[in-house]
A and B are shown apart, each in its own frame.
Chain A
């Protein structure tokens, strides 16, 4: 866990003072609303449909108990007792008042957190693999690099007024849990033939109106070249990205219109210049960052496997939880626990202040004081001993946090949609709730198997619908909510954009329509081991289109 040094503390304090002054200057007329808006966005403050919304960064998804308790405190004091974990490792508060926001930011500063650059046309909160430092398949922990990028991008004088927002994600494992190919810049840690560590750099991915899978511009970049290389990419983008049309302003459009070869040579040309001039941070500073992400001293005393398996076998709910909500840890005495924030019928990603405190207590008691937030809107205890699982499960169950549905149908990603968002064209949360209710039987969900349903309430695709195995996009068709379905999307290392099935469905029709897709999958799968995505890749879209549209006609 990175701990702030004096400079980090001074920086955040100074930044919060600036924001407090900006609020006052908005009220006294020094700043127009047009001028204030980008400034408040850069500090995470939106004006949404019903109220202001404050988006707080959880850099690379890493938290400890103290920070989680402070998030609970903010929820209780300035919101309505809950917070919403987003699809980009942030937490959002939906009900702050403008005059309270400077105090909220100060409260965050007390626990070394901030809301800087969680919005605006600048480099956003850098996201990383939520299993970083714990996963069995990891080559290297991406978080020291992510922290370096947090510092580099924060208040970078050249890149605060880009053509559009700019998102960076990084992973250190071959299994991509950070969706790096759907980011403006995706970074995969790798090694060259000599075994030296470096990065593969992917540019121009993104979802939104024009979904694109990122293109590799550098197969191997030596570690020390990372910042000058990113500066080169950003400089090329800042000078050449389109500013005439906000829907064409992301770097993916520049890459697409310019061509990968040409953009690569533009980047390399600027990089040559940057490399010799770049004001890189001192090496000691990078080493100091790395030292703060060393793994905890794992308690590796042997586990009484007989005893543990008997306890698990005796409790079907616990057994189900262990099967569904845990992942392989690099230490075989340990496991990774994913706490689902998707209770049946609940709002995806919401947690009450009390639930946050329960998770903080568990991290402290059993998890080396570490917590992670995933882009799938769940909370993770990255390091727990396997023989602590029964006790952890009991505590989670009492707090309503033990839903054993991770990776299953009801583990739905949904953006806030028109229940909160000023940009939304339709609701997404109630669609998720109704789907979850319609498939409430977890045994049935398990039989259906791994399935990622992702719902966005507008074309901006915050709900990542393009990379859902089943994607749902809510639109406004002539004053009525209409939901388009895409199939076959994939946000992992085998990334793919889902294919649209055809005409949309009304709010009332969308849940039954998804039901018909599931039924068709169950009919046509070869056996229980063929997942929905595998079956889709084998048979294509036609059988599902048939289920969607011809049976609808029959039932009419």
Chain B
């Protein structure tokens, strides 16, 4: 199935693999995964993984992808937040059933982009996602961030 990337500037085609990027599965490679990680790899992690078992990936993985089996399963939000809290600075991508109404939440938790399938993209077109950009999604959390650190999204 084709997929669409949602970013703050709208829908985009996923060029990751076309441009030489690799997806590797944490569950498949287990302990050895750290050796395979480089700046052209994206590591797929399950959403129930303990943060400690990801520590070897931080420095090198260009991207980490977290699945949303259902939009009602919010583990990915906490996992993304934890990865950022533990210092991960690469790209964070949410993949699966994320709905437009959650885009601001995903961004606020540390995701950079969301990967959805074509059916969902057709049902919830670009404007529905752009209506929920984090800077427009008024939230107390973001407000406190801005007031404390004087920074904006």
Contact = CB atoms under 8 A, between A and B. Distances in A.
Direct contact of A and B (CB under 8 A): yes
Interface of A: 7, 10-11, 14-15, 18, 21-22, 25, 29-31, 35, 38-39, 121, 151-152, 154-162, 235, 238-239, 243, 273-274, 277, 279-282, 285
Interface in B77-104: 77-79, 81-82, 85-86, 99-102, 104
Most buried by B among A14, A154, A243, A274: A243
A161 B73 contact: yes
Given A10-B138, A18-B101, A152-B140, A279 B148 contact: yes
Say which size band chain B's interface belongs to: 35 or more
Nearest to A158: B77
Given A7-B138, A31-B99, A157-B108, A238 B144 contact: no
B101 A161 contact: no
Contact of B124 (A30, A154, A162): A30
A161 B75 CA distance: 8
28 contacts: A10-B138, A11-B138, A18-B132, A25-B124, A29-B123, A30-B123, A30-B125, A31-B124, A39-B101, A121-B74, A151-B140, A156-B140, A156-B141, A157-B108, A159-B77, A160-B102, A160-B105, A161-B72, A161-B73, A235-B78, A238-B78, A273-B86, A279-B144, A279-B149, A281-B147, A281-B148, A282-B144, A285-B147
B82 A235 contact: yes
A162 B140 contact: no
A203 to B, nearest CB: 17
The 4 A-B residue pairs with the shortest CB-CB distance, nearest first, are: A161-B74, A157-B108, A157-B105, A238-B78
A235 B105 CA distance: 15
Contact of B139 (A38, A155, A285): A155
Contacts of A159: 74, 77
Nearest to A270: B82
Most buried by A among B71, B104, B139: B139
Given A30-B124, A155-B141, A161-B71, 12 more contacts: A25-B128, A30-B123, A31-B99, A38-B72, A152-B141, A157-B77, A157-B104, A157-B105, A158-B77, A161-B77, A243-B73, A279-B149
Contacts of A25: 124, 128
Interface of B: 48, 71-75, 77-79, 81-82, 85-86, 99-102, 104-106, 108-109, 123-125, 128, 131-132, 137-141, 143-145, 147-149
Contact of A14 (B124, B125, B138, B148): B138
Contacts of A29: 123
A35 B128 CA distance: 14
Contact of B109 (A7, A157, A280): A157
Contact of A35 (B71, B132, B139, B140): B71
Nearest to A152: B140
B41 to A, nearest CB: 25
A282 B147 contact: yes
A239 to B, nearest CB: 5
A280 B131 contact: no
B59 to A, nearest CB: 19
